[in-house]
Amino acid sequence: MFVWPEAQTQFISEVVQSAPSDTSLYFVFQGNEILLRFDPQGQWQPLSTLADDFDKQKTQQHFMGRLAGVDCFAVETDLVNEKKGNLRMLAGKTDNLMFSIAGRATQILDWYRTHQFCGRCGIKAVSHKVDRAMVCPECKIHSYPRLSPSIITLVHDKNRILLARNHMFPKGMYSTLAGFVEPGESIEETLCREVKEEVGVNVAKLEYLGSQPWPFPNSLMLGFLAEYESGDIVLQEEEIADAQWFDVADLPDIPGKVAISRWIIDTYLERMGIDV
Ligand SMILES: [Zn+2]
């Protein structure tokens, strides 16, 4: 079975650094933008040392855990003169493992930046000693990094699959359907509601495939296959620009291999005997 992503088996998450490793990796950001330095092959890598000038400009640093025994840190600095850009710019220019850890870093930094004060009583919060949490010394409320679970699903009907494009997609690009879980809802209810809302069809026989953290800004994508049951395509026009059934042997442009949407599509194509 295809395992997504490999980061889940190679990276060990920790909050407290027990003993420093000989080498470290630093995932360096300014605000939501990541430091862009590419090797001669055009591949992005985290920094293996934090130069003095970076260290002096550091505004926050968090130990994230270990990758094959090497300590990994999320760092925010004020490096105004360094080239930096959106994390999406790493897609295709680093492996899924590094992309995943960089995504973890930006979410931890953003959480810390936005939870400096208690949301209930407003006083200054402090870091929990052993957990990834900000704690109010007064009312003891704990604020953990926020995650937004979402479903992402491929609706299929034998040799055809339903793909859609939203108004922001590049021209000609189609993908799977996705949507956020609402309070009080099961994942299965979310999936059926989102598919019905966005394209008007009913689905059954849901099959969970796997998940992917998606740090734009804090989604956890839960990937499913869903079998078509009934109904014609009716677009939710504010959100969906177009949706169509496509023959599995004749697909439009679809997302790159860094995204779980592509993995879900490829998984189904393989089952239908199509090379991916
Ligand atoms: Zn409080």
Average pLDDT for 19-23: 91
State what percent of residues in the chain have pLDDT above 90. Answer: 80
CA-CA-CA-CA torsion sign (110, 112, 116, 121): positive
Residue 117 Cα to ligand 1 middle (Å): 8
CA 132 to ligand 1 center in whole angstroms? 17
Q: How many CB atoms lie within 10 A of CB 31?
A: 13
Neighbours of ion ligand 1 (CB under 5 A): 118, 120-121, 136, 138-139
* 219 CA → ligand 1 middle, Å: 26
**pLDDT reported for residue 80:** 81
Domains of the chain with bracketed CATH = 7-114 (3.90.79.20), 148-271 (3.90.79.10)
> Is the previous residue joined to 46 through a cis bond, with omega within 30 degrees of 0?
no
How many whole angstroms from 137 Cα to the centroid of ligand 1?
A: 7
Backbone angles phi, psi at 221, to 5 degrees: -85, 125
Instruction: Give per-residue pLDDT as tens, 69-102.
Output: 999 999 999 888 889 999 988 888 988 889 889 9
What residues have CB less than 8 Å from 142, skipping those under 6 apart? 128, 131, 133, 134, 135
Token duo for residue 162: 């339903």
- pTM score, whole prediction: 0.86
Q: Are 232 and 224 in contact (CB under 8 A)?
A: no
CA of 133 to the centre of ligand 1 (A): 13
CA of 136 to the centre of ligand 1 (A): 5
